[in-house]
Structure 1
Amino acid sequence: MAGLEDGREWAYRVDPYGFERPDDFDYASYEAFFSRYLVVLTRRAIKWSKLLKGKNSIQKSLKDMNRTFPDNVKFRRTADPCLQQTLYNVLVAYGHHNKAVGYCQGMNFIAGYLILITKNEEESFWLLDALIGRILPDYYSPAMVGLKTDQEVLGELVKMKVPAVAELMERHGVMWTLVVSRWFICLFIDILPVETVLRIWDCLFYEGSKIIFRVALTLIKQHQAFILEATNFPDICDKFKQITKGVMGGQLD
């Protein structure tokens, strides 16, 4: 019985996607939030299912393998099955499929998330192809032209929507690529909670890359006062690191 209890406690400390929860995780708040959010998730699942039935269009060196979700029990070598092999298969297949891109850092996290959700190599491959080949062209090409362009576009949008933050960045010579590049490359993975990232991805697949700008602008606008407390270059960078800590899934709903 002791072993059974230990197993239940361990399972409770791991979220539905395999990530271990920290020691100070607020289970009560999470359960209260999720009991309300479950209704929303159910409604979205029905809507998403109808969309998929109506539209059938979504169908180099890999040294990053061991660094992909080290805190996820499903990607550990001791896991059975270990999703590292599935991830490797998807990334190698995509490298052969799209030789212009091959493999780019950040793709491992995106493919890893897709595998966790679909639990299927082929579905993960085609979703990855939809993201990289159609929705985010030139994000992961060697020159990353699309990525650099969109970060500059975000800078222009901030000038229009949150001018005080844009002025602060310009005054201290902080380039947008220094503070938001990971938001764009990893599509908010490890930036926002899992449930929030998946909600963003639902919108991303359905509406396209404009969703990335909406989320980025929302984060900046919501934390404008906090960002404006910065008084120098490193302080600004630190503020951007901190604004995504503790963001609850419902805030971007």
Structure 2
Amino acid sequence: KEKWRSYSETSSVNDNGGASLADRESSLDLIKLDISRTFPSLFIFQKGGPYHDLLHSVLGAYTCYRPDIGYVQGMSFIAAVLILNLEEAEAFITFANLLNKPCQMAFFRVDHELMLKYFSAFEIFFEENLPRLFSHFQTNNLTPDLYLIDWIFTLYSKSLPLDVACRVWDVFCRDGEESLFRTGLGILRLFEDVLLQMDFIHIAQFLTRLPEDLQSHTLFNAMANTHMISRNRRWAQVSSGLLE
């Protein structure tokens, strides 16, 4: 809180080689705006709600801790899920460590080169698992960045029902980044027949906000039928080959 207060009292560049005052203020303004959009149906993170100040503190602390990254839209959903499960200090520590993982760091730093490599790896498994849908997406010029960025940014907590997203998080904590891309393929498999009937606009809208009645067991069945092996290479081998 002291460091945050000092942001409004100095216009100097941060000692950590991070952001200028304008950048920091922009992050703080964006946090305020984004908190009100975080799980609005729960009414617990909005102003006056029991977790509003807590979410604000965790996100504000992160901008102090990593001024080189600041606040990026979508972070509020990740922090909110952690706050629902952990005490304040533990939520912040977990949040900071989670965002420090290679895949999350690539996306939150908006490292275009790295992101494109992750998209390329995803498309290899997309084509292997769902060739008809892959071809349909290509015909409609629907590229992974149009839906994967939002999914990866929020670890599916914005697009999936909260209880289903929490199940996805459990698997992510156990299996790492591969599970995030398996989940994406599971979603596409689950709704393949519906998506094949849609055009570009309707596909993009559908994948941004998935059906609220989506059940975890149906998604996990679709994920179980998704094979993360391409030409005898697993996800880690394919992705690391592209990321070199």
Give the TM-score, by structure 1 length: 0.67
CA contact (8 A) 2:39 2:77 kept: yes
2:69 aligned residue (101, 123, 126)? 101
Match status 1:134 vs 2:101: yes
Q: CA 1:95 to 1:221, structure 2 compared with 1: closer, same or farther past 3 Å?
A: same
Rounded Cα–Cα distance in structure 2 between residues aligned with 1:225 and 1:88: 41
Q: Structure 2 stretches of 5 or more lacking a match? A: 1-26, 221-244
Rounded Cα–Cα distance in structure 1 between residues aligned with 2:197 and 2:180: 25
1:246 aligned residue (207, 213, 226)? 213
Q: Which runs of 4+ in 1 moved over 6 A?
A: none
The Cα of 1:153 is off from its aligned counterpart by 2.4
Aligned residue for 1:71, secondary structure, equals helix
Rounded Cα–Cα distance in structure 2 between residues aligned with 1:104 and 1:184: 13
Judge which range, 157-166 or 129-138, deviates more.
Answer: 129-138
Q: CA 1:69 to 1:147, structure 2 compared with 1: closer, same or farther past 3 Å?
A: farther
Judge which range, 67-76 or 167-176, deviates more.
Answer: 67-76
The Cα of 1:183 is off from its aligned counterpart by 1.4
Rounded Cα–Cα distance in structure 2 between residues aligned with 1:164 and 1:240: 17
The amino acid of 2:61's aligned partner reads: A
The Cα of 1:109 is off from its aligned counterpart by 1.0
Residue 76 of structure 1 corresponds to 46
CA contact (8 A) 1:68 1:109 kept: yes
Q: CA 1:206 to 1:100, structure 2 compared with 1: closer, same or farther past 3 Å?
A: farther
Match status 1:235 vs 2:202: yes
The Cα of 1:204 is off from its aligned counterpart by 1.1
The amino acid of 1:248's aligned partner reads: Q
Rounded Cα–Cα distance in structure 1 between residues aligned with 2:121 and 2:168: 19
Rounded Cα–Cα distance in structure 1 between residues aligned with 2:176 and 2:160: 19
| Amino-acid identity (%) | 23
Q: CA 1:189 to 1:211, structure 2 compared with 1: closer, same or farther past 3 Å?
A: same
The amino acid of 2:44's aligned partner reads: K
1:224 aligned residue (184, 192, 206)? 192
Residue 66 of structure 1 corresponds to 36
CA contact (8 A) 1:101 1:142 kept: no
Residue 176 of structure 1 corresponds to 144
Give the TM-score, by structure 2 length: 0.70
Deviation track 1:17-40 (CA, whole Å, cap 9, x = no partner) reads xxxxxxxxxxxxxxxxxxxxxxxx
Aligned residue for 2:101, secondary structure, equals helix
Match status 1:208 vs 2:176: yes
Rounded Cα–Cα distance in structure 2 between residues aligned with 1:137 and 1:170: 28
The Cα of 1:210 is off from its aligned counterpart by 0.6
The Cα of 1:85 is off from its aligned counterpart by 1.1
Residue 159 of structure 1 corresponds to 127
Match status 1:192 vs 2:176: no
The amino acid of 2:82's aligned partner reads: L
Q: CA 1:78 to 1:95, structure 2 compared with 1: closer, same or farther past 3 Å?
A: closer
Residue 241 of structure 2 corresponds to none
Q: How many residues of Structure 1 are paired with residues of Structure 2 in the alignment?
A: 190
Q: Structure 1 stretches of 5 or more lacking a match? A: 1-59
CA contact (8 A) 2:45 2:55 kept: no
